[in-house]
Chains A and B, each alone.
Chain A
Amino acid sequence: MSNDFNKYIIIIKAICEKTEVGKKMLQKLLYLIERKGVGLDLNYSIHFFGPYSAKLDKLIHLFESEDIIEIDTNGTTHKINISKNIPEEYEESIKEYKLLASDEEKVNFVFQNFIKKSAFELEAITTLDYVATFMLNNAQSDSQIIEEVKKIKGSKFKEDYLEKQLAILKKCGYVA
């Protein structure tokens, strides 16, 4: 298996070990990890629930078809778990693969700050970051960022809620 694949699996495995995760939450956590500077090449674009990577969606289903992950479809949101019976050839390759120390540090940073957040919170946080970084190119004020998010999300998130999440992003060094 390629090292790129190993990198995705190692990170997804670490997330699954720390929290119950569905596809939406996984999308947002990997977005934050990529934005911290871990090279994942996931090409995020904006979607109904915030930043979304079609490539990651395909990878999740590829990993499922290779028995690396399992998707539990009971319940409203499908839960992702690492398979209990990963095929030997993959297991070996995953065991041998190590993240770069600098990447590991960035992943842990995201875990410390965001892993306990709900999918709803992560949707607000990543949408704010996407708008500030990719749509407004970091050149706008807080109120302009929030206005833009409100345009996209309508009344889904209240203004003071967005302000609070933007402050978290700033504290974590995502938005200047």
Chain B
Amino acid sequence: MFYMIDKYRDPVHGFIEVRSLENEIINSMPFQRLRNIKQLAMTYLVFHGAEHTRFGHSLGVMHLVSNAFRSAISNGPEFLSKEKKDWYEQILRLIALLHDIGHAPFSHASESVFPDGTEHEDYTEKIIKETCIADIISKIGTEYKAKYGKEYDITPELICDIYMRRIPGENSEFVFLSSFMDGELDCDKMDYLLRDSLYCGVNYGKYDVQRLISCLTVYREEGGSSRLAVKYGGVQAFEEFVLARYFMFVQVYFHRTRRYFDIMLKSALEKILDNGKYPENIEEYLSWDDCKVIELMKEKCDSIKECDNIVNRKVYAMVLDTKTHPEEADKREFRMMRNILYEKFGRNNFIEDQSADKMPHKIPIRTAIDDEKAIVIINERTGKNTTISEESQIISSLTNKINIQRIYANKEYSMEAEDCIRSTYKDII
């Protein structure tokens, strides 16, 4: 039971070991679909290497979550039985493996065309509960029950409830588990920074993952609940990780041309999909992947401008933007220039993007120790517990808002628009 029977050769982590029933999940249709969901949406039109998919990322997160859990538990105070450690690790591995199973084609870039009130996590939950994956999870649960007793069952419902934080478990232990997957320092971010960096051919996302994982520990609160924490010696590794997030956001996730194609994709999908939305029915939804969207866009190039812009890579030039951290005066200046452009060339010849602060790859925010998602930094020598934004001067200065605003101009007018901006700056500012 639980033999590692397969190994996947991963470009980021080397060999990733997979248990037999996990491999059944990987070989199922809903999981194989992830081979055709690009991790970084349209980014490959800018960084041509960014062809990697949610498939490899999901395996990578599962690999990291095992290492992170084992490290935190072995470094922290003893509070889990041998049975619970094994059970929790399996639960975490399944959550990690399946956390992106509900992603739409081109990942986050097309989430705006989900049916109203639906998020990719809702599709994830349905896929886990309503497809063949549910049966495989139940088989894993049966093995655990046989090994440790009926309280060690694993069901699709349990996996979803822990992932969605609907049930806390004894002494909030399930909440503790979910912080490995959703927090300031989670295995999802740990994997995608390294993976995206490698495939984009940039160095910004690299950090010392081994050091960071080796510094994970557990902070036991008064009352008995446990939180994921970092030993004081890991502050620099944590800083490096946060800096990696910052640079990847500014240089890759919010790259001007990538954002332009995201905006195009959203408009194209609104015109391609029935009622401008993905289907709610899971079977139908699972038939959608990047290949299907690209094929449809190719077919519609003549009739839908946005499809033509994507397929034939017709890019609006960015003619105006703010600083990464604009002050009020910078925003006023941006608005003034924008209004001049709109008045002179017509609003319809421009696209505006002000979504930096709404992107899923959020930059670090300031956290107090009683913030739910804060990672506690434990200084064993002084007994003082803090957070990374309190501990690190570099990080606390980084937590100012990223609020890049941009204007793109129709190719026909972009040169004139740039001239207009230059002359306005020269004359007025």
Binding site for B on A (CB under 8 A): 22-24, 27, 45-49, 52, 57, 61-62, 64-65, 67, 71, 73, 76-78, 85, 119, 134-135, 151-157
| Cβ–Cβ contact B166 & A48, under 8 A | no
Partner of B370, one of A61, A85, A119, A134: A119
Q: Report the bound CA distance from A103 to B157 in whole Å.
A: 35
Partner of A48, one of B167, B172, B222, B389: B172
Chain B residues whose C-beta falls within 8 Å of the C-beta of A152 in the assembled complex: 168-172, 225
Partner of A61, one of B166, B167, B172, B365: B365
**Residue in A closest to B165 when the chains form the complex, CB atoms:** A45
Which 10 pairs across A and B sit closest by C-beta, in order of nearness? A154-B224, A156-B223, A45-B165, A154-B223, A65-B401, A65-B357, A152-B168, A46-B168, A47-B372, A78-B368
- In whole Å, how far is B157's beta carbon from the nearest beta carbon of chain A? 14
| Cβ–Cβ contact A77 & B368, under 8 A | yes
Q: Binary interface profile of B, 383-413, with partner A (CB < 8 Å = 1, else 0)?
A: 0000001000000100001010000000000
**Residue in B closest to A46 when the chains form the complex, CB atoms:** B168
| Cβ–Cβ contact A155 & B166, under 8 A | no
Chain A residues whose C-beta falls within 8 Å of the C-beta of B396 in the assembled complex: 73
| Cβ–Cβ contact B172 & A153, under 8 A | yes
Q: Binary interface profile of B, 206-245, with partner A (CB < 8 Å = 1, else 0)?
A: 0000000000000001111101000000000000000000
Task: Give the residues from 34 to 59 in chain B that come closer than 8 angstroms, CB to CB, to chain A.
Answer: none
Q: Is the interface of A mostly helix, strand, loop or mixed?
A: mixed
| Cβ–Cβ contact A154 & B225, under 8 A | yes
- In whole Å, how far is B171's beta carbon from the nearest beta carbon of chain A? 5
Task: Give the residues from 264 to 313 in chain B that come closer than 8 angstroms, CB to CB, to chain A.
Answer: none
| Cβ–Cβ contact B171 & A151, under 8 A | yes
Task: Give the residues from 132 to 171 in chain B that come closer than 8 angstroms, CB to CB, to chain A.
Answer: 164-171
Known: A45-B164, A64-B401, A65-B401. A154 touches B368 (CB 8 A): no
- In whole Å, how far is B313's beta carbon from the nearest beta carbon of chain A? 32
| Cβ–Cβ contact B403 & A65, under 8 A | yes
Q: Report the bound CA distance from A151 to B173 in whole Å.
A: 10
**Residue in A closest to B227 when the chains form the complex, CB atoms:** A48
Q: Report the bound CA distance from A17 to B179 in whole Å.
A: 33
Known: A135-B167, A156-B222. A48 touches B175 (CB 8 A): yes
**A/B interface sample: 22 pairs, CB < 8 A:** A23-B368, A23-B370, A24-B370, A24-B371, A45-B164, A48-B221, A52-B372, A57-B372, A65-B403, A67-B328, A73-B396, A76-B369, A77-B368, A119-B370, A151-B170, A153-B223, A153-B224, A153-B225, A154-B171, A155-B222, A156-B223, A156-B225
Chain B residues whose C-beta falls within 8 Å of the C-beta of A46 in the assembled complex: 165-168, 172, 175
- In whole Å, how far is A49's beta carbon from the nearest beta carbon of chain B? 6
Partner of B224, one of A49, A78, A156: A156
Binding site for A on B (CB under 8 A): 164-172, 175, 221-225, 227, 328, 357-358, 362, 365-366, 368-373, 389, 396, 401, 403
Q: Report the bound CA distance from A152 to B169 in whole Å.
A: 6
- In whole Å, how far is A165's beta carbon from the nearest beta carbon of chain B? 15
Chain A residues whose C-beta falls within 8 Å of the C-beta of B222 in the assembled complex: 155-156
Partner of B357, one of A61, A151, A156: A61
- Of the listed residues B165, B221, B370, B389, the one surrounded by the most CB atoms of chain A closer than 10 A to its CB is B370
**Residue in A closest to B367 when the chains form the complex, CB atoms:** A78
**Residue in B closest to A157 when the chains form the complex, CB atoms:** B223
Chain A residues whose C-beta falls within 8 Å of the C-beta of B366 in the assembled complex: 71, 73, 78
**Residue in B closest to A78 when the chains form the complex, CB atoms:** B368
| Cβ–Cβ contact A23 & B371, under 8 A | yes
Chain A residues whose C-beta falls within 8 Å of the C-beta of B328 in the assembled complex: 67, 85
Q: Report the bound CA distance from A129 to B169 in whole Å.
A: 16
- In whole Å, how far is A157's beta carbon from the nearest beta carbon of chain B? 8
- In whole Å, how far is A11's beta carbon from the nearest beta carbon of chain B? 20
- In whole Å, how far is A21's beta carbon from the nearest beta carbon of chain B? 13
Chain B residues whose C-beta falls within 8 Å of the C-beta of A157 in the assembled complex: 223
- In whole Å, how far is A46's beta carbon from the nearest beta carbon of chain B? 5
**Residue in A closest to B164 when the chains form the complex, CB atoms:** A45
Q: Report the bound CA distance from A153 to B372 in whole Å.
A: 14
Partner of A45, one of B166, B223, B358, B362: B166
Known: A61-B357, A62-B357. A22 touches B170 (CB 8 A): no
| Cβ–Cβ contact A47 & B401, under 8 A | no
| Cβ–Cβ contact A48 & B357, under 8 A | no
Chain B residues whose C-beta falls within 8 Å of the C-beta of A76 in the assembled complex: 368-370
Q: Report the bound CA distance from A46 to B358 in whole Å.
A: 24
| Cβ–Cβ contact B370 & A22, under 8 A | yes
| Cβ–Cβ contact B357 & A77, under 8 A | no
Chain A residues whose C-beta falls within 8 Å of the C-beta of B171 in the assembled complex: 151-154
Partner of A155, one of B165, B168, B223, B389: B223
**Residue in B closest to A120 when the chains form the complex, CB atoms:** B370
- In whole Å, how far is B167's beta carbon from the nearest beta carbon of chain A? 7
Chain A residues whose C-beta falls within 8 Å of the C-beta of B164 in the assembled complex: 45
Q: Report the bound CA distance from A157 to B170 in whole Å.
A: 15
Q: Report the bound CA distance from A77 to B387 in whole Å.
A: 11
**Residue in A closest to B171 when the chains form the complex, CB atoms:** A154
Chain A residues whose C-beta falls within 8 Å of the C-beta of B170 in the assembled complex: 151-152
**Residue in A closest to B176 when the chains form the complex, CB atoms:** A48
Q: Report the bound CA distance from A67 to B358 in whole Å.
A: 15
| Cβ–Cβ contact A62 & B358, under 8 A | yes
Chain B residues whose C-beta falls within 8 Å of the C-beta of A61 in the assembled complex: 357, 362, 365
**Residue in B closest to A119 when the chains form the complex, CB atoms:** B370
Q: Report the bound CA distance from A47 to B165 in whole Å.
A: 7
- In whole Å, how far is B280's beta carbon from the nearest beta carbon of chain A? 18
- In whole Å, how far is B160's beta carbon from the nearest beta carbon of chain A? 12
- In whole Å, how far is B163's beta carbon from the nearest beta carbon of chain A? 10
